[in-house]
Amino acid sequence: MSEDHRLWKIVLVGDGAVGKTSLRKRYLGEGFETDYLSTMGADFALYDTNINETHIRWQIWDLAGQPVFKDVVKAYYTKIFGGVLVYDVTRRSTFENVEKWLNELQENSKRDKTVPVVLFANKIDLQEEGAETVSPDEGKALADRLGLSFYETSAKTGEMVTAAFEKLGKEILDFTS
């Protein structure tokens, strides 16, 4: 695959307010380009970086809300190279929906094999003990069962955000080679 073709579309998925947009902003920092696709209620950001010394351009898609139309869902996921799947450790319902998001992503990607997905347990800066809180062990167990890499992140402090995106990049390099 030539360098020109290392344009990787990825999607952010997970329930509302888990931190998808914040994680993307944190990873990209200031000054990235975005294009808003009003017909879809989605935008994408372009970001150039190196993964294992290979130059790649991320095209990171982000939905404003839940798409209403099937065609929008299809367009969002089609030709993706991977995904960032996010739940909020302080809200158990967002954790319970992880598998649903994964299935939607894989079904709509229209790839011959499953695409790499990294699971982000976000808002760890707010992690406390309690019934509503999802523990790291629970997160890790689910990631293992679903065959996903797992990172505890905070878009607020920046903890593990770059590492988690880079891990996805490394998995996509393997996926495409």
Strand order through the sheet with 33-37: 33-37, 42-51, 54-63, 7-13, 82-88, 117-122, 149-152
Stretch that binds Mg ion, among 17-25, 98-106, 145-153, 168-176 (CB under 5 A): 17-25
Q: Is 16 in the site for ligand G3D (CB under 6 A)?
A: yes
**Partner whose binding site includes residue 122, from ligand G3D, Mg ion, none (CB under 5 to 8 Å by kind):** ligand G3D
Min CB(116)–ligand G3D separation in Å: 20
Minimal distance, residue 118 CB to ligand G3D, in Å = 15
Pick between residue 148 and residue 155 the one whose CB is nearest to ligand G3D.
155
Considering only 18-26, 95-103, 127-135, 139-147, which stretch makes contact with ligand G3D by CB under 6 A? 18-26
Fill in the amino acid letter for 36.
Y
* Rounded Cα gap, residues 173 and 30, in angstroms: 26
The C-alpha angle with vertex 47 and arms to 44 and 121, in degrees rounded to 5, equals: 75
Stretch that binds ligand G3D, among 2-10, 11-19, 37-45, 142-150 (CB under 6 A): 11-19
Residue 160's contacts (CB-CB under 8 Å, 6 or more residues apart) are 151, 152, 153, 154
Contacted entry of Mg ion, ligand G3D, none for residue 94, CB cut-off 5 to 8 Å set by kind: none
Note whether 62 and 42 are within 8 A (CB): yes
